[in-house]
Chain A
Amino acid sequence: MSEFAVDVQGVGKRFRRHTDRRNSLKERIVRGRARNPEDFWAVRDVTLQIPKGSVYGLIGHNGSGKSTLLKMIGGIYRATEGTIATDGRVAALIELGAGFHPDMTGRENIALNGSILGLPRKEILAVTDEIIDFSGLGDFINDPVKHYSSGMYVRLGFSVAVHMKPDVLLVDEVLAVGDEEFQRKCFDHLYSLRRAGKTIIVVSHGLGQLEGLCDEIAWLERGEMQEHGPAVETIAAYLRKVNADEAARNPMVSAVRGIDDDGARAGDQSVQVTRADVVDGNGTPITHAETGTTFTISLGITVPEAILGPNVRVALQHDSGTLVSMPNNHRWGIDFGTIQGEHTVRFAFVDNPLLPGRYRVHVDVFDYTGSRLLDSWNDAVEFAIRSPRGEIGQGLVELPVEITFE
């Protein structure tokens, strides 16, 4: 028994291009065996050690090799080079409900899928009721699955897979199944698996989701490992790269979002926001803060000509799109007075109540009357909230609550 649930050493996977697949005998005979001009490496020289009981995320663009790596860990693909050692039973949530037979009922499919995923018959019978309960399908469980809605289908698939008592659970982009309520149930279940010491490996594009769920994250790019380590740091590095790429590809977008080119910004620019940072108590810029700590959004503004006290508004938007809070100095009764030159405006979020997730900050500056837009900066800065207790899916904020019991 090693301390790692999965130990990936120098693994590579070479694929043959589909255009050159000799799938018929004639092609094989006519063109021979030796011609493989267009092999490509989907994964190359990846080394990873995933500790037991941890949640590990894989991120990267489409085609970066995340899913291929996951399939190799799951034993579906064979590594072309390198070795993969797994400790314990691996169950893959590559596609929910793969292997359901349309003509069989939900209940029959539970038995079949359970066997395919490697659970002994006795144990399948023992968890069947739990699975039906978890899926929330009720009486529909005795209908053929071909009559299920796609939501019901994946709900049953997820329920079966997570009840197979795997030691290592592989999850590929399937966390976004079902409605809100079912999603929360899925997350709760993943957390309970984690508490039970199971290892979970997740592939996802939902960076906010991953940030709250994962201990560590690896970032793959064109099959190669870019960076791996603590979740927040890897995601920050990934986003820096994504933003830089986008700026290089699309100067207009970068102008709207950037701070150099003020001509393309919204507002009449009689006030310019030149800088937006999230900083800790010492004024040091940070990429993430923990729930309950104090952090500050610090804005640098330049006022070329003296104006009457403007209203600076900071909007915090959760990754899911929800606007969480939008404080501004007028509403707080703070008047800057007549100002000119360079200033710094600080919004200190004392003992912040935000729960884990990613937040984006939009900055808008209005004139004294609040009717004229002076500057607007979308996505000025973003940050993540982490919690040592890992409460994802528990809402956006922790409200002050006193719980009593009599």
Chain B
Amino acid sequence: MLTDLYSQRALIWAFANRDFATRYRSSILGWAWSLIQPLATLIVFAAVFSVVFRIQAPPLGNGEGSSYAAFLFTGLVTWNLFAGLLNLSMTQLKSNGELLKKVQFPAWAPILGASIVQLVQVLLELLVLVLMLLFLRNVGWTWILAIPILLGTMLFAQGVGLMLSILNARFGDVMYIVAVVLGALYFLTPVLYPVSMIEGQNELLAWVIRLNPMTWYVEGMHESMYSLVAPPLWAVASLLVGGFAVFWIGLAVFDRGSEDIGELL
């Protein structure tokens, strides 16, 4: 199954090229939008939550105070990676429907191609985050741990995305359900606030938040990038392996579910 991915890399790449070439083709600012959008979100959220709601970010790893904007953006980049891949994957089968009905090729190819383009966007956001943390002189060796954590997030999101895409091809409602669930999950993930804020306030809510897998990934990123604390190695490893397992299961489910994709769409 995974060797299929490798043998079809040219096809995946061809779809990535297509999406890359056409993503912002008719807009004037083009790829600048992929930065303007998250930065605008960052500014609005930072203003609303740190000024209006007075949420306190935990201290920076370098011991020089705290920065809500940096804390928020660390979480936001992780969340965007997850939600972006999920949403994009889910709609790919339908938007490539005409093609899948007429030519036989692995149906995951356009999904993975689209994901590659989405990853470019994430890398751009990541670059801004790094610049931001450099500006705050909040740098540490623990940054290296962000790589396996982000890889885990990516695999996790892709696995869930593959499963949802096949479900969505069968039942048009899935897209809407996912939109609702993602909206709720966003607030159950410590992106806008540190988990410590909930602990001691509402144990039940804190427990729910701790059960959310995205909390694990976002917390991992907070620790390694923002607080410069190394999570235990077993935790980092399980985030990566767990992500990989979800990806593998997603691919298997997708393979079985897409056998008659030409008739479904």
Contacts and interface: CB of A to CB of B under 8 A. Distances in A.
Q: Do A and B bind each other?
A: yes
Interface of A: 15, 23-26, 28, 71, 74-78, 90, 92, 94-95, 98-99, 101, 103-104, 108, 111-112, 115-118, 120-121
Nearest to A115: B14
A23 B172 contact: yes
A78 B260 CA distance: 6
Interface of A is mostly: loop
A198 B104 CA distance: 19
A151 B101 CA distance: 22
Contacts of B174: 25
A99 B96 CA distance: 8
B104 A92 contact: yes
Contacts of A28: 171
A143 to B, nearest CB: 13
A103 B25 contact: yes
23 contacts: A23-B172, A24-B171, A24-B172, A25-B174, A26-B173, A74-B104, A75-B104, A76-B101, A76-B104, A78-B260, A92-B102, A95-B102, A98-B101, A99-B99, A103-B21, A103-B22, A103-B25, A104-B21, A104-B22, A108-B18, A116-B11, A118-B11, A118-B105
A87 B174 CA distance: 39
Q: Which of B18, B26, B173 has the most chain A CB atoms inside 10 A of its CB?
A: B18
Interface in B104-161: 104-105
Contacts of A101: 18, 22
A28 B174 CA distance: 13
B262 A71 contact: yes
Contacts of B171: 23-25, 28
Contacts of A76: 101-104, 262
Contacts of A78: 259-260, 263
A145 B172 CA distance: 30
Contacts of B199: none
B10 interface: yes
A7 B105 CA distance: 21
A157 B101 CA distance: 16
A112 B174 CA distance: 30
Contacts of B98: 98-99
B17 interface: yes
B102 A98 contact: yes
Given A23-B171, A116-B11, A120-B10, 5 more contacts: A25-B177, A76-B103, A92-B102, A98-B101, A118-B105
B18 A112 contact: yes
B102 A77 contact: no
Top 6 closest A-B pairs, CB basis? A115-B14, A75-B104, A98-B102, A76-B262, A99-B99, A94-B102
Interface residues of B, number: 28
Contacts of B172: 23-24
B65 to A, nearest CB: 48
A127 to B, nearest CB: 15
Contacts of A103: 21-22, 25-26
B129 to A, nearest CB: 31
Contact of B103 (A24, A25, A92): A92
A23 B265 CA distance: 10
A171 to B, nearest CB: 13
Interface of B: 10-11, 13-15, 17-18, 21-22, 25-26, 98-99, 101-105, 170-174, 177, 259-260, 262-263
A176 B104 CA distance: 23
Contact of A121 (B10, B21, B104, B259): B10
B11 A115 contact: yes
A75 B260 CA distance: 10
A6 to B, nearest CB: 14
Contacts of B99: 98-99, 116
A121 B173 CA distance: 38
Given A23-B172, A71-B262, A77-B260, A99 B103 contact: yes
Given A24-B172, A25-B173, A77-B263, A104 B18 contact: yes
A223 B152 CA distance: 50
Nearest to A94: B102
Q: Which of B10, B26, B104, B172 has the most chain A CB atoms inside 10 A of its CB?
A: B104
A90 B104 CA distance: 9
Nearest to B98: A98
Nearest to B262: A76
A112 B101 contact: no
A285 B22 CA distance: 63
Nearest to A118: B105
B260 to A, nearest CB: 5
Contacts of B262: 71, 76-77
B153 to A, nearest CB: 28
A154 to B, nearest CB: 13
Nearest to A111: B14
A116 B260 contact: no
A121 B11 CA distance: 9
A118 to B, nearest CB: 7
Contacts of A98: 98-99, 101-103
B100 to A, nearest CB: 8
A108 B20 CA distance: 12
Given A25-B171, A98-B99, A99-B99, A108 B104 contact: no
Nearest to A90: B104
Contacts of A71: 262
Contacts of A116: 11, 14, 99, 103, 105
Nearest to A22: B171
B21 to A, nearest CB: 6
Q: Which of A15, A26, A77, A99 has the most chain B CB atoms inside 10 A of its CB?
A: A99
A115 B7 CA distance: 12
Nearest to B177: A25
A76 B174 CA distance: 24
Contacts of B260: 77-78
Nearest to A68: B263
Contacts of A90: 104
